[in-house]
Amino acid sequence: MSDCLFCKIAAGEIPCNKVYEDEDFLAFHDIHPKAPTHVLVIPKFHLETLADATEQDTALLGLMLDRVRHIADAELHLDAGYRVVINVREGGGQEVFHIHVHILGGKKLPF
C-alpha cells in the first residue's frame, strides 16, 4: 500500500535500524522503545491487522511467529525470556495499520 509507513520501510524507502531480513519478513528496532529491547517484526506483504487475516494468511502468520522465535533467540539473545505483542485496531492500541509483532525484553517486564 503506497501510503503505508511499514510498506515503505519494507521497500527501503524509509530507513530503519534493521535487526533481521529475509524474503518475506523484516525486523527493526522500534523508534520509541518501551523496554531495553523493543523490536518490530513485519511481513513485507501488506495486511492491515490481525483481525483482517483470513484462512489464506494462516501460513504467513505461522511463519511470522517462527521468525519471531528465531529473532528473539539468534539475533537478540533474549535467553531470559521476552514478551510478544500484537495490537489489533484502535481499541487494542494499534497505531500503524500494517500487521506487526512487538518483541519486548531485556528486563523483567511488569504485567
Site map for Zn ion, 26-65, x if CB under 5 A? --------------------x-------------------
**87: contact with ligand AMP by CB under 6 A:** yes
**84: contact with ligand AMP by CB under 6 A:** no
Among 20, 83, 96, 106, binds ligand AMP (CB under 6 A): 96
How far apart CA 9 and CA 38 sit, in angstroms, is 17
* Residue showing cell 504467513: 60
Among 7, 35, 88, 96, binds Zn ion (CB under 5 A): 7
How are strands ordered across the β-sheet holding 25-29?
18-21, 25-29, 37-43, 101-105, 82-85
Residues 8-27 that bind ligand AMP (CB under 6 A): 16
How far apart CA 96 and CA 89 sit, in angstroms, is 9
Q: Quote the cell numbers at residue 96.
A: 500503524
Which residue numbers are catalytic? 100
